[in-house]
Amino acid sequence: MQSKRRIRRIVIVAIGLFVLLACGWLLNTGRQLLDPRGQSFIQWWTGDDDVKQSLITAQREACPGAPFVLPADGFVGLLYNDPRGPYSGLNPHQGIDIFSSQPVGVTPVYAAYDGYVRREAHWTSALIQRVPQDPLTGEQIWLYYAHMADEQGNDFIEPAFERGVSEVFVEQGTLLGYVGNYDGNIPSRIGAHLHFSLVKDDNGAYMNELDFDNTLDLTPYLGMEVNYDSADGRRVTCVP
């Protein structure tokens, strides 16, 4: 009798928890559907070519007064500090994702600023660039570019940046490679995009770029509103 009652109590608690979680998920999904930032994201995946073109930022020059250039053309779909997608409020996106309307291996990726490129020996699709002097703070910083390979891991990185190289100086605008969709899975679970982030330095070494606290908001560096908290969901452009 005692154990039956206990089982019933456990079942009721489990159902209650499930209902709570389901409500939370529904609320969150509903909020995202109503949010213009979420609507543009849905438009990108479901819209025709005209819709896609209307969301793409193609900006090869630095915005007025800003030090960095946007490293690739595309739809800046996941923003800095973004809680959507695989991210959350506790673990927001550490950079920006620039989605390409082209197949993988077509959209060029350029250096956002002058600096020294490194590619760790085990990196399939990523490069990191040391910038000795942050143009805004004077500190050393690092720029991280990822997903420049196809889902099989064939990379689209320029030969100058083969695995294991470091301290290869490049000027702003130098071609680094091409946008891909590598995420370590086949089939890849992501569309073709460049992940770009600004990573803090710790005594001459780059910090873990996957930790949001180790990254900085790219907004003042790009002269574009790319922080989730202040972006309006429309196509990202130079801040007037």
Measured from the CB atom, is 137 or 207 closer to Zn ion?
Answer: 207
CA dihedral 166, 170, 172, 176 (to 10 degrees): -70
Measured from the CB atom, is 119 or 195 closer to Zn ion?
Answer: 195
Closest CA to 233 of 53, 78, 31, 27: 78
What is the Cβ-side half-sphere exposure of residue 31, based on CA atoms within 13 angstroms?
8
Measured from the CB atom, is 167 or 213 closer to Zn ion?
Answer: 213
Q: Which string of DSSP letters, residue by residue, matches 60-103?
A: -SPPTT-SPPPSS-BEEEE-BT--STT--SSS--SSEEEE-SSP
Least Å distance, CB 193 to Zn ion, is 7
Least Å distance, CB 181 to Zn ion, is 12
Task: Give residues in contact with Zn ion (CB under 5 A).
Answer: 97, 195
Helix/strand/coil percent split, the chain, to 5: 25, 25, 50
Measured from the CB atom, is 97 or 150 closer to Zn ion?
Answer: 97
Q: For 17-65, what is the HEC assignment? A: HHHHHHHHHHHHHHHHHHCHHHHHHHHHHHCCHHHHHHHCECCCCCCCC
Least Å distance, CB 15 to Zn ion, is 36
Closest CB to Zn ion: residue number: 195
Least Å distance, CB 97 to Zn ion, is 4
Least Å distance, CB 93 to Zn ion, is 6
Measured from the CB atom, is 170 or 226 closer to Zn ion?
Answer: 226
